Structure 1
Amino acid sequence: MKVQGLILVAIFLYLSCIQVVKSQPRKDCQKRCGNVTIEYPFGISPGCYYAEDSSFKLTCNETETLSFGNIPVTNISYSGQLRVRLVRSKVCYDSQGNETEIKSRRITLKNLTLSEHNKFTVVGCNSYAFLEMFGVDKYSTGCISICDSLPSKNGSCSGEGCCQTPIPRGSSYVQVSPSSFDNHTTVHQFNPCTYAFLVENDKFDFQPLEDLKDLQNMTMFPVLLDWSIGNQTCKQVGNKSICGANSECFDSTRGIGYNCQCLKGFEGNPYLRDGCQDINECNNNRHNCTAPSTCENMLGGFQCNCPSGYRKDSPNSCTPKLRPEYFRWTQMFLGTTIGFLLIVLGVSCIQQRMKHRRDTELRQQFFQQNGGGMLIQRLSGAGPSNVDVKIFTEEGMKEATNGYDDSRILGQGGQGTVYKGILPDDSIVAIKKARLGDNSQVEQFINEVLVLSQINHRNVVKLLGCCLETEIPLLVYEFINSGTLFDHLHGSICDSSLTWEHRLRIAIEVAGTLAYLHSSASIPIIHRDVKTANILLDEKLTAKVADFGASRLIPMDQEQLTTMVQGTLGYLDPEYYNTGLLNEKSDVYSFGVVLMELLSGQKALSFERSQTSKHIVTYFANAMKENRLHEIIDSQVMNEYNQREIQEAAKIALVCTRVTGEERPKMKEVAAELEALRVKTTKHKWSDQYPEEIEHLLGGSILSAQGDTSSIGYDSIKNEKRLDIEAGR
């Protein structure tokens, strides 16, 4: 039994390890509303319910009433049922048969559906009602109740004054329509109305005297609704279900989605990460061990143990050992077994120590192979620094990425693969697994650590640490949760909410970051791979420049380096491509292409699809010469108020993409001109909205700012004669 218990423990631990809990409620969520306990995946505030389905959002009003929409909720079941209260329908008549009141009900349940454990009920003499249901199938039914006098039999709902009919599961829209054969003219004295409603099985007891008069003054009845997670089966969703540890997935009985349940021997909420807890059968008298055996709690169960001098004759009972000679044989057997186990234990300890030594040596080998010595040497030679780079372990990286699971991959590129990682403190990070094949790539990896360790800028992705003791080295940096600029402009999350103001601000942030790298960092840094896919956006759409694997440090006494050409075609500086001479003007060219993409948005891809021999720079130059810039600007950006500012931004982009690096401005000049353009854009926006107030507050300052462009660093853009907008210039 102990062996079986250990096997069960191993199985449960394995099941716990493979759980992938995608979403969990906040710890501060409200747990009760009135006398109803609120159970996840249901909740009443953002972050407290299963966010992928709005049907799990409930409300708790001032009277402490929990509701689903406008439907009161009285109980939530883990097994996939929600108990609510639904209003009954009725139609009433006066003694002459004239209709005095009618209330037909239409009920919409979103993604929830009616359970089969409900009945459609009609109360009234000479009455009938129809029930129409829509969901998995369109379904209609009805019920007829007949009587000429007041029935005398209580509790029976078999057609005399009351009738019931079962309904199928799966409907999410219900319409109830009551009526009467003779408008209650013959029974009006004791039954003026027909009532029709849905009610949970065995929750309505028909009392003719009270119910036919006013339905015991009841307006709402308990009804069971079915719910499930998503629209995939357990087999389809695999290990990506939201079922927590020590739980299992089962297909919903309503035929859509799945539900979760705790494994045998556990109880609690199976939708929480640690919601299913072990049941201590020994303390709760849930065991069947009989004296003199004693109960021992096990993970997911229990076992019955016999005291000394007893043996098991069944799984839960013990009997005395009758023959003492068995003790001698037992002692001999135990002595031999213990001696053998001690020998095995000693050999195992020696093997473990040898394995630990080999692992340590292998980690040291990987550390040197991955450039650890190079990193330490370069950091120690860089002078005093406040760099705090954390060293992560191999085991910690495996746990954070769920064993480098494919579902955790955020992106792949020429420099490696980036995974989403979750550290033990629940903080989310991005983990970059470098793609190395030779020593030059090892140097690029160490180069990225070195570059990022010297940068402290709000618009540069923050390096948190690295792991060098694995065969493939890893970088750990902050997680930016809103994707790349490329995704927003062209990709899967293409978002038309990127307004002109958003795009101009992003351009200013990227330009300012590159200017900082070129001019303000302790050692000038050339990024060498500026593109929209390497610009991340956070939840506030703040730009974060990333991927410094191709970056180079420029010594203070040099203005350029001769290097092997690296970068992305389409963004790559043609002068650098042809000569191999790298300087800060190479980043200026790439930024100019990024600025053109910001202006053209989704149209930038259509340029490349239409004629692959042409480049976006050529399109912009031709459009500017032919006065048709509006044709290549994103339709979500340009309007009648910002055409001039967009045209001036396009001119900046063309100046940045001139073929000859000497003719391009420095990055800090570009940043200053874009910032001045933002000031001008803001001024125009306020002038259009509040012209009189602006004139009153600023007086002649607007005119002076427009008349003296040199005062705001914008002269090179305002003076159009200095711009050569031919293709390639």
Structure 2
Amino acid sequence: MNKVHGLFLVAIFIIASTKLVIGQSLRSCQTRCGNVSIEYPFGISTGCYYAVHASFNLTCNETTKELFSGKLQVINISHSGELRILKSRSYTCYNSTDLTEGTFYTTTLRNFTLSNKNRFTAVGCNTYAVMTTTIGDRSYSTGCLSLCDSTPKENGVCSGEGCCYTPVPKRRKRFRIRSRRFDGETSVSEFNPCFYAFLVEEGMFSFSPSQDLQNLRNVTEFPVVLDWSIGSRTCEQLGNTSICGQNSLCLDSTTRTGYNCKCKAGYDGNPYLPDGCQDINECTTSSSIHKHNCSGSSSCENMMGHFLCRCPSGFDLNATNNSCMRKHKPEYYGWTQILLGTTVGFLAILLVVSCVQQKIKHRKNTELRKHFFEQNGGGMLRQRLSGAGTSNVDVKIFTEEGMKEATNGYDESRILGQGGQGTVYKGILPDSSVVAIKKSRLGDSSQVEQFINEVLVLSQINHRNVVKLLGCCLETQVPLLVYEFINSGTLFDRLHGSMSDSSLTWEHRLRIAVEIAATLAYLHSSASIPIIHRDVKTANILLDENLTAKVADFGASRLIPMDKEQLTTMVQGTLGYLDPEYYNTGLLNEKSDVYSFGVVLMELLSGQKALCFEKPQQSKHLVNYFASAMKENRLHEVIDGQVMNESNQREIHEASRIAVECTRLMGEERPRMKEVAVQLEALRVTKTKQQWSDQYPELEVNEHLVGVEMLPAQGDTSTTGYDSIKNVTRLHIEDGR
């Protein structure tokens, strides 16, 4: 083994030998491979490594006692997020005129990234070396030049004469290294026939001109530092769900995304294991880093996470050097006692006054909360909950203090969104469940009874496509509503915002449209009291991790009494989605939701916003633009290019026709939501049947056995589902409680 390589391994062994805890891993798991300790989250066999990252799965060559992560040979693992590997160098060799041999390499680091502790180094006279890294579809290069016409004299200096280096940008996962000499330079070949380029950890290579220009070819590998972390989210985003064990801290990685774990001060061990960090007994440890500094006659007493220096009776501890010094009685001891007694008495009076003030303040806050509770209809809600026929109502009344703790004092970092109906915060309840807390904007006291009715009705809705209302808090000036938390953003974000991407296929969009339509049909037709949402828009459609639609934000919704078909209300809604008939007359009915849904369906089809003032006059309002394109047979101009293909043109045209019918000016000309839901579901059934036929063409002869026809949309009161006897598909719009 050469001097550079050997020096590096000796340094690694010295570092490893100073650790207090070596090889901490899961029980029954291998903790070493040759001279390398293997500690969780890394491991060799199944169940011994953190399975979220396959790169944590290591391989031990039992013959050579070498450890590998994929094709990378591992020589050291650090809890702080560093992994050291051995990496080959690139070289080219020449005779007097021609290239005789050489090599360059391209390396992919799996889930690891390069640390900025490495140096890209070139060795040779009149040579240059280039390192190319790739980020996405773009490439970046860095390199250095080395010039000399004879062997340099000074050892250990890599400043551009025979040797040069440059820092390496961190977070790179793929790179390529090569070296070349300058064309026409042949005079140096006798003492420097080869030129080298390599990555090496800073401080682990010392340039020796007399040896390295001739014999560096014998050194084939150099130590390189890689960065690693857990996951891709921050500690704040994870809350208490990180894998950091007891007595450890979660720290955001400073070199890449994700986080690392660290034992708290006074503890040592593996912070990634549940009980990996153990208390250090500073009073008995031999480590100079953690040993106590009690001196003189003071004695050390170990505590959990720290230690104390104790003095015998009659002595005080000198905090400067932690030694003991004898107590001295002051000359004016009597005056000191008087002063001390006066001070204690004064402080006691202040404490009593403060306690009285706190009690008065607490009483005022309690009375204020009671006032808000009654003002916001708390007594009425309790009366309704205790009355007959409400045994199936599942609504919880939260306290103001509980809401403050859940939102961290309504911290701005917890805000999920703001709109005309209020502000929504992310809340974490004492049982660690995550909820969405909405601070409503309630009008005058005349709306209290209506608000309580809505809370009771919405709490009974148990529809899989409606965001569940869990409860409310009435002890604040404005009521707070507590909903289930949906973590994958809104449909608006997916179509137009920062989360927009090409993964939202036509199949996804059609399914989302069916789910929204079925939900609105359920609210209009199947809820115990019909509900008109009144603010249907893509920003009020949440998506979960499976892209399942969840209708949200019922702050503007209205209950329709069973003996009425419409209500006269103050016009409320969002421009671009607002029913023009409702806007002109103030008469609200279920056809207003139909219009808004038609706009949402147009957004799904076109990928364009409902209203965009930056566009030309003819395309500012999506409804007019879409209807005009449909009428003039140029629908292809408005349909999203990521959606349409040869196999779905008929479905898209039919969905476009439904969208135009939903947005007709006169409400009586629009279909009901139940009709819309049935027609859209028919498109999905037809598509599924077509895909089945394409996959199993031999079954087409029996097509009449699985044919599908739609029930009449109006006046349909039959049970939902698929009836294999009647050969009819029925839509599940009554999936609610």
Please give the TM-score of this superposition, normalised by the length of structure 1: 0.71
Q: Provide the rounded CA distance (Å) in 1 between the counterparts of 2:491 and 2:267.
A: 47
Aligned to 2:734: none
- 1:397 aligned partner: 403
Q: Which moved more, 1:468-477 or 1:240-249?
A: 240-249
| Counterpart secondary structure, 1:557 | coil
One-letter identity of the residue aligned with 1:470: T
**Aligned residues with identical type, % of pairs:** 62
Task: For 1:581, give the aligned amino acid.
Answer: L
Given that 2:30 and 2:43 are in contact with CA atoms closer than 8 Å, whether structure 1 keeps it comes out as: no
Q: 1:641 to 1:42 in 2, by over 3 A?
A: same
5 Å matches for 1:423-462? Answer: 423-436=429-442, 438-439=444-445, 446=452, 448-462=454-468
Counterpart among 122, 139, 146 of residue 144 in structure 2: 139
| Equivalent residue in structure 2 for 1:520, among 520, 526, 537 | 526
Aligned pairs for 1:216-231 within 5 A: 219-224=220-225
2:299 corresponds to 1:309: no
Change in CA separation of 1:499 and 1:143 when aligned onto 2, cut-off 3 Å: same
The correspondence for 1:584, drawn from 587, 590, 606, is 590
Is the alpha carbon distance of 1:36 and 1:523 closer, same or farther for their aligned partners in structure 2, counting shifts above 3 Å?
farther
CA-to-aligned-CA distance 1:432-486 (integer Å, 9 cap, x gap) = 1223453367667545533320211000001223222233432221222222222
In the alignment, what sits opposite 1:609? Answer: 615
Pairing 1:563–2:560 present:
no
Alpha-carbon separation, structure 2, partners of 1:251 and 1:61? 24
Secondary structure at the aligned position of 2:324 is classed as strand
1:544 equivalent in structure 2? 550
Q: Considering fraction of residues, name the structure with more helix.
A: 1
The separation in 2 between residues aligned to 1:467 and 1:261, in whole angstroms, is: 39
| CA 292–612 in structure 1, closer or farther in 2 if over 3 Å, else same | farther
Q: Match for 1:287 among 287, 292, 308?
A: 292
Deviations 1:409-444 (A, max 9, x none): 222111001122334444332221223453367667
Q: Aligned pair in 2 of structure 1 residues 312, 115: CA closer, same or farther (>3 Å)?
A: closer
Assess if the C-alpha contact under 8 Å between 1:527 and 1:550 holds in 2. yes
TM-score (norm 2): 0.70
Q: C-alpha offsets along residues 328-370 of structure 1, whole Å, 9 cap, x if unaligned?
A: 6666666555555555444444444333323322222232233
Amino acid at match of 1:293: S
Matched, 1:102 2:115: no
Larger displacement relative to structure 2 (488-497 or 75-84): 75-84
Please give the alpha-carbon distance, in whole angstroms, between the structure 2 residues aligned to 1:475 and 1:414. Answer: 15
429-438 or 598-607, which moves further after superposition?
598-607
Range moving further from structure 2, 481-490 or 383-392: 383-392
Question: Which of 114, 117, 131 is the equivalent residue of 1:115?
Answer: 117
Note the alpha carbon deviations across 1:110-145, whole angstroms, 9 max, x for none: 9625536787668xxxx9975445679642337899
Partner SS for 2:418: strand
Q: Does 1:88 align with 2:89?
A: yes
Contact 1:158 1:164 (C-alpha < 8 Å) held by counterparts: no
- Cα pair distance change 1:551/1:486, threshold 3 Å: same
Structure 1 residues 154-179: Cα deviation after superposition (integer angstroms, max 9, x where no partner): xx9779xxx98463423565635489
Structure 1 residue 650 corresponds to structure 2 residue 656: yes
**In the TM superposition, what are the counterparts of 1:179-258 in structure 2 within 5 Å?**
199-200=200-201, 219-224=220-225
Question: Deviation of residue 377 (structure 1)?
Answer: 3.8
The alpha-carbon distance between structure 1 residues 128 and 715, as it changes in their structure 2 partners (threshold 3 A), is farther
In structure 2, the CA distance between the partners of 1:145 and 1:241, relative to structure 1 (3 Å rule), is farther
Contact persistence 1:113–1:227 (CA under 8 A): no
List aligned pairs for 1:17-32, cutoff 5 A. Answer: none
C-alpha spacing 1:541/1:286, structure 2 compared with 1 (3 Å)? same
Question: Cα distance, 1:279 vs. partner?
Answer: 6.9
CA RMSD, 1 decimal: 5.7
Contact 2:512 / 2:548 at 8 angstroms: preserved in 1?
A: yes
In 1, the alpha carbon distance for the partners of 2:441 and 2:279 equals 44
| Shift in Å, 1:82 | 4.4
Q: Deviations over 1:214-250 (max 9, x none)?
A: 9898643323467999xxxxxxx9x999999979999
Say whether 1:75 aligns with 2:72: no
Aligned with 1:535 (options 522, 538, 541): 541
Of 369-378 and 270-279, deviating more is 270-279
Provide the rounded CA distance (Å) in 1 between the counterparts of 2:213 and 2:386. 92
The code of the aligned residue for 2:75 comes to T
Shift of 1:547: 0.6
Amino acid at match of 1:375: L
**Contact 2:104 / 2:176 at 8 angstroms: preserved in 1?**
no
SS of the residue corresponding to residue 598 of structure 2 reads: helix
Contact 1:250 1:261 survives alignment (8 Å):
no
**1:10-21 correspondence runs (5 A):** none
How far off is 1:288 after superposition? 1.9
> What SS is found at the alignment partner of 1:319?
strand
Indicate which of 661, 664, 688 corresponds to 1:682: 688
1:254-403 matches, cutoff 5 A: 281=282, 284=285, 286-295=291-300, 304=309, 306-313=311-318, 315=320, 316-323=322-329, 340-380=346-386, 383-403=389-409
Find out whether 1:572 has 2:578 as its counterpart.
yes
Are the equivalent residues in 2 in contact too, given 1:116–1:166 (CA < 8 A)?
no
- Secondary structure of 1:533's match? helix
Q: Please give the secondary structure, in 1, of the residue aligned with 2:615.
A: helix
Q: What stretches of structure 2 of length at least 5 have no aligned partner? A: 1-25, 133-139, 717-737
More divergent stretch after superposition (341-350 vs 521-530): 341-350
Q: Partners in 2 of 1:411 and 1:43 — Cα distance?
A: 45
Instruction: Report the Cα distance in structure 2 between the residues aligned to 1:249 and 1:634, rounded to whole angstroms.
Output: 39
Tell me if the contact between 2:250 and 2:259 (Cα under 8 Å) persists in the aligned partners: no
Secondary structure class of the residue paired with 2:167 = coil
Amino acid at match of 1:220: E
1:415 aligns with 2:415: no
Q: What CA distance in whole angstroms lies between the structure 2 residues aligned with 1:31 and 1:346?
A: 62
Deviation of residue 548 (structure 1)? 0.6
Contact (CA 8 Å) 1:116, 1:167: kept in 2 or not?
no
Cα distance in 2 between the residues matched to 1:118 and 1:636: 43
* 2:82–2:226 CA contact under 8 A, matched in 1: yes
Is 1:170 matched up with 2:172? no
Distance 1:105 1:649 in 2: 54
Q: Which residue of 1 aligns with 2:513?
A: 507
1:296 to 1:433, Cα distance in 2 relative to 1, 3 A: farther
Determine the C-alpha separation between the residues in 2 that align with 1:333 and 1:313: 24
Cα shift at 1:89? 4.2
Secondary structure, counterpart of 1:167 in structure 2: strand
- With 499-508 and 690-699 compared, the bigger mean Cα shift is at 690-699
Q: Where in structure 1 are there 5+ consecutive unaligned residues? A: 1-26, 148-155, 230-236, 717-729
CA contact (8 A) 2:121 2:163 kept: yes
Distance 1:453 1:104, change over 3 A: closer
- Displacement after TM superposition at 1:647 (Å): 2.5
Return the offset for 1:604: 4.8
Compute the displacement of 1:509 (Å). Answer: 0.8
Report the equivalent of 1:636. 642
563-572 or 322-331: bigger deviation: 322-331
